[in-house]
Structure 1
Amino acid sequence: MEADGYWLIRLFLQRGLGFIYLMAFLVALNQFRPLCGDKGLLPARHFIKAIPFRNSPSIFYMLKGDRYYFLFAILGVALSLCAASGLSDAGGTFLSMLVWFLLWIIYLSYVNIGQTFYAFGWESLLLESGFLAIFLGPSTTEPHWVVIWLFRWLAFRVMFGAGLIKLRGDPCWRDLTCLDYHFESQPMPNPLSRLFHRLPQWLHKAGVLFNHLAEVALPILFFAPQPVAGIAACICLLFLGSIIVSGNFAWLNWLTAILCLSPLDGSYLADHLPVHAPLLMPRPPLFEALIWGLLILVVIKSWQPVRNLISKAQLMNTSFDPFHLVNTYGAFGSITRDRYEIIIEGTEEMKVTPLTAWKEYEFRGKPGNPLRRPPFIAPYHLRLDWLMWFEAMPSRGFSPWFINLVAQLLLGERQIIGLLARNPFPDAPPRFIRCLYYSYSFGENEWWERQLIGEFLPPLSVDSPVLKRVYSAHMPCS
């Protein structure tokens, strides 16, 4: 029977989710304080003062400040390692549920006060899948088919939502030309993106058709009997693998691939893999009751995501409650045709003239120096680099966090500089900073070719009025 292999599917889900949680908490450990800490680009303390707890529940309403942001990130890393390694199974059902619950509530606490820097769809996806993981149970207890099928329901909504929003969105998804632009204009290319960009046009069109197959047709088969569901999941996993190797999308596609393991035939895999089923104990009655309660909760909360899926005005990546329990998903409904980049430069000179020598700051992931090869980053997430991609979109204006970024570079703030790949002013901060606006395209001899469009932000110093307002407000949030 298919249910005989659910123990193996549970193992895949738990180990995979533990790994993704580990990435998420390492990001929080390294980046939350520079981005949303006491002296961050969008300090969470201002957000906490402005937004009631009931609208954005978080541990950090009670335990405020950089010290707690650091300590809970460390705790999250430790709990993630317990989940990924299986140590959380050692204490039975209660300990297993406690570890997964703590992972969920701690990460929820970061997301709900992370503002723009935590507004990505994969935050809600991790929280929803992490909440379901609370009810998977330890490896010594019989897994419940309800929870495995709720993971299938989540995998379906992620894939199907992404497919529908493409068909309803940018015309290039319908005329099969989106991949002519996507690999070059995506938020953060990797070393293989240029190769994918230069594939023949007919192969790009075939790739779009494959996208529609994997995101629209096959997810429906996740609920079919085996081996149909397993075959559909395998094809979707192949599709997700192609996205993973062609760009840096944080843990979005990694986590989606983990969810797409849920429709696999665990019995078949157990017969062909060098694994042995553990001795499984019956589920405790209270745990059984909680699982049926989970099913009722998900069914009730699925109404809004389903209504959104069938709506012509489909929303992308939206949560309908502050706990991010049952959400709606969708990615890249529109594709940018051109790539623009903001290049931040500084100078030590006392006065800006046409002959002033400027030095570039280099980010860890986003394009800058045309000679620099794009890095492999995913499933790690460089939040500032991603936001710089959004900031460079035409007609956006200046975001408050971006002005704060310039201000903190002028002050030589170590936390912010630590997010960058290269600081051209290691001894003292620059006297002036300016930002230039370039168009980028993949080069022939160099990794990138770029053309100057104009000035994005004029030279500013610590005495500039716009920055004085920032300082007087001590880096307020938007």
Structure 2
Amino acid sequence: MDWFGASDYWLARLVFQRGLAALYLVAFVAAALQFTALLGERGMTPIPRFVARVPWRAAPSLFRLHYSDRFFAGCAWGGAAVAAGLLAGVDGLVPLWAAMLLWLVPWALYLSIVNVGQTWYGFGWESLLLEVGFLAVFLGNDEVAPPVLVLFLLRWVLFRLEFGAGLIKMRGDACWRKLTCLDFHHETQPMPNPLSWFFHHLPRPLHRVEVAANHVTQLAVPFLLFTPQPLATWAAALMIVTQLWLIASGNFAWLNWLAIVLAASALDLSALHTPPALPEAPLWYEIVVIALTAVVAALSYRPVRNLLSRRQSMNRSYDSLHLVNTYGAFGSVGRVRQEIVVEGTAEEVPRPESGWLAYEFKGKPGDPRRLPRQFAPYHLRLDWMMWFAALSPAYARPWFEGLVERLLEGDRDTLRLLRHSPFPADAPPVHIRARVYRYRFTTWRELRETGAWWERTYVREFLPPTRLR
């Protein structure tokens, strides 16, 4: 191995790049299929209105040069096409400089989407995908060995992701220190999956073991990423196992899968495949990688300061290009699950307790007899924001009125975001209302007797009966 390249990580780079390309593909397809109702010209939070009031420096994006729904769709599907090509390995068929440009395309397109995505794109995994995607531009192809410095920077991202999540738990909710958070988490997490009910009913002593193991994986193991092999490989492998456990128990878009892809870049897989003989990197490439490392080191100051702060922020970007960010998850865990149920009626004078039919969302709980579905790594943005809205009406202020208006109009793009509408698009309801219910997982006995996975209780009104003016 020369001072710059690490040939033993040739296979690890391949796994990382193909995994990242697959996640890019998922992200672009999700954007293409959901943007019209959320961000389009007639969406709940239109992009043209946003770019008119936010300066370029705060949110650089291609859509500042031009916006139309057709142009957005072209960018999203174009990004998906490039990601599919990278997944198929086209970056290995072109010169090094061209491969770098290929990886730059999905990063630039997705940055343009995130920077105008407003509340719908305010999740930590958006910045994580951009930060990792930017580093992937400099990882090279089969013309060079994987650069040691870029491999180090990928581990630095993984360290901040895991260690930041561990610190914010210990500094946040006391249940993490008492090892009791998983008594509630599987039931109250944003979007349960088909196994969440079963995870919730695991014995409580096992929940304590889960939390303790999580603390070890997030607070101690990340330091081993910077040790010699095979310790670094064992640390990365342990992180992968932990992430697979999280994937089995909930829907968190591509967060866990991206953590696995990052950890894969730290694996020494040379025993599985003899690394090919690769030429030394050209001088210009070495200079570019060294410059990248210097930039990341400088931009890491504020994320590191945040890690050391008692007032640690969770999931924050410090620059508009999302180059070096801070991460964290579940600094607090809800004890009670509340859900907003949206209902409509065709009656001109609605009755309080009859004639109301419920809209069903794809991912968030609604019908108590419906088992939660698996959607991750696909991201259902409206469903996630409905969970936040149930926590506080402030989360719903920018978009909920727009959602209600579009349901009253029978807007087809909005209805496509739902699993089921009780009203056809050409015969929308006259009134819409929203009510808050407390949801809890049923017990084994209740499930056998009723066939319901949830038991719900009315809490309060969220939106009184409303009609179009």
Cα-to-partner distance string for 1:379-415 (whole Å, 9 max, x where unaligned): 0000000000000014647513011100110011111
Aligned with 1:243 (options 246, 257, 277): 246
Aligned with 2:373 (options 372, 375, 383): 375
Residue 223 of structure 1 contacts residue 263 of structure 1 at CA under 8 Å; is this kept in 2?
no
* CA drift at 1:130: 0.2
Residue 237 of structure 1 contacts residue 257 of structure 1 at CA under 8 Å; is this kept in 2?
yes
Amino acid at match of 1:288: E
Residue 165 of structure 1 contacts residue 330 of structure 1 at CA under 8 Å; is this kept in 2?
yes
Closer, same or farther: CA 216–355 of 1 in aligned 2, 3 Å: closer
Residue 140 of structure 1 contacts residue 278 of structure 1 at CA under 8 Å; is this kept in 2?
no
Aligned with 1:222 (options 214, 221, 225): 225
* CA drift at 1:219: 0.1
Secondary structure of 1:400's match? coil
| Residue segments in structure 2 that go unaligned for 5+ positions in a row | none
Distance in structure 2 (CA, Å) of the matches to 1:168 and 1:149: 28
* Map of 1:115 onto structure 2: 118
Residue 385 of structure 2 contacts residue 396 of structure 2 at CA under 8 Å; is this kept in 1?
no
* Map of 2:149 onto structure 1: 146
* CA drift at 1:282: 2.6
Distance in structure 1 (CA, Å) of the matches to 2:455 and 2:278: 59
* CA drift at 1:140: 3.1
| Residue segments in structure 1 that go unaligned for 5+ positions in a row | 464-478
Cα-to-partner distance string for 1:115-160 (whole Å, 9 max, x where unaligned): 0000000000000000000001112322211111110111101000
> Is 1:453 aligned with 2:456?
no
Distance in structure 2 (CA, Å) of the matches to 1:344 and 1:352: 15
Distance in structure 2 (CA, Å) of the matches to 1:367 and 1:223: 42
> Is 1:408 aligned with 2:422?
no
* CA drift at 1:247: 0.2
Distance in structure 2 (CA, Å) of the matches to 1:396 and 1:69: 28
Distance in structure 2 (CA, Å) of the matches to 1:24 and 1:276: 33
* Map of 1:469 onto structure 2: none
> Is 1:259 aligned with 2:265?
no
Closer, same or farther: CA 52–438 of 1 in aligned 2, 3 Å: same
Closer, same or farther: CA 163–31 of 1 in aligned 2, 3 Å: same
Closer, same or farther: CA 136–355 of 1 in aligned 2, 3 Å: closer
Amino acid at match of 2:124: G
**Structure 2 counterparts to residues 240-319 of structure 1, below 5 A:** 240-265=243-268, 269-271=269-271, 273=272, 275-319=273-317
Distance in structure 1 (CA, Å) of the matches to 2:12 and 2:396: 46
* Map of 1:208 onto structure 2: 211
Amino acid at match of 2:441: F
* Map of 1:441 onto structure 2: 440
Between 1:300-309 and 1:348-357, the stretch displaced more is: 348-357
Amino acid at match of 2:58: N
Residue 122 of structure 1 contacts residue 252 of structure 1 at CA under 8 Å; is this kept in 2?
yes
Residue 388 of structure 2 contacts residue 395 of structure 2 at CA under 8 Å; is this kept in 1?
no
Distance in structure 1 (CA, Å) of the matches to 2:85 and 2:357: 45
Distance in structure 2 (CA, Å) of the matches to 1:369 and 1:276: 53
Residue 6 of structure 1 contacts residue 145 of structure 1 at CA under 8 Å; is this kept in 2?
no
* CA drift at 1:279: 4.3
Secondary structure of 1:143's match? coil
Cα-to-partner distance string for 1:402-454 (whole Å, 9 max, x where unaligned): 11100110011111111000011114110011111100011232111111112
**Structure 2 counterparts to residues 12-411 of structure 1, below 5 A:** 12-265=15-268, 269-271=269-271, 273=272, 275-354=273-352, 356-394=354-392, 396=394, 398-411=396-409
Cα-to-partner distance string for 1:327-382 (whole Å, 9 max, x where unaligned): 11111111011100000000111211246411110000000001111000000000
* CA drift at 1:35: 0.6
Closer, same or farther: CA 294–398 of 1 in aligned 2, 3 Å: closer
Secondary structure of 2:320's match? coil
Secondary structure of 1:207's match? helix
Residue 33 of structure 1 contacts residue 69 of structure 1 at CA under 8 Å; is this kept in 2?
no
Amino acid at match of 1:338: V
Distance in structure 2 (CA, Å) of the matches to 1:340 and 1:419: 21
Amino acid at match of 2:382: L
Distance in structure 2 (CA, Å) of the matches to 1:139 and 1:31: 36
Distance in structure 1 (CA, Å) of the matches to 2:381 and 2:351: 34
Distance in structure 2 (CA, Å) of the matches to 1:395 and 1:109: 28
Distance in structure 2 (CA, Å) of the matches to 1:461 and 1:408: 11
* Identical residues among aligned pairs (%): 50
* CA drift at 1:87: 1.1
Secondary structure of 2:309's match? coil
* CA drift at 1:101: 0.6
Cα-to-partner distance string for 1:25-73 (whole Å, 9 max, x where unaligned): 0111101221111111111111100011111000000121211110001
* CA drift at 1:213: 0.5
Cα-to-partner distance string for 1:235-256 (whole Å, 9 max, x where unaligned): 1111111001100000011101
* Map of 1:476 onto structure 2: none
Secondary structure of 1:260's match? helix
- Give RMSD over aligned pairs: 1.3
* CA drift at 1:276: 4.6
Distance in structure 1 (CA, Å) of the matches to 2:318 and 2:69: 29
* Map of 2:430 onto structure 1: 431
Using the size of structure 1 for normalisation, the TM-score is 0.94
Residue 344 of structure 1 contacts residue 435 of structure 1 at CA under 8 Å; is this kept in 2?
yes
Residue 349 of structure 1 contacts residue 356 of structure 1 at CA under 8 Å; is this kept in 2?
no
Amino acid at match of 1:317: N
Number of residue-to-residue matches in the alignment: 458
Amino acid at match of 1:248: N
Cα-to-partner distance string for 1:62-107 (whole Å, 9 max, x where unaligned): 1212111100011100011111121122112122111111111100
Amino acid at match of 1:283: A
Between 1:196-205 and 1:350-359, the stretch displaced more is: 350-359
Residue 303 of structure 2 contacts residue 326 of structure 2 at CA under 8 Å; is this kept in 1?
yes
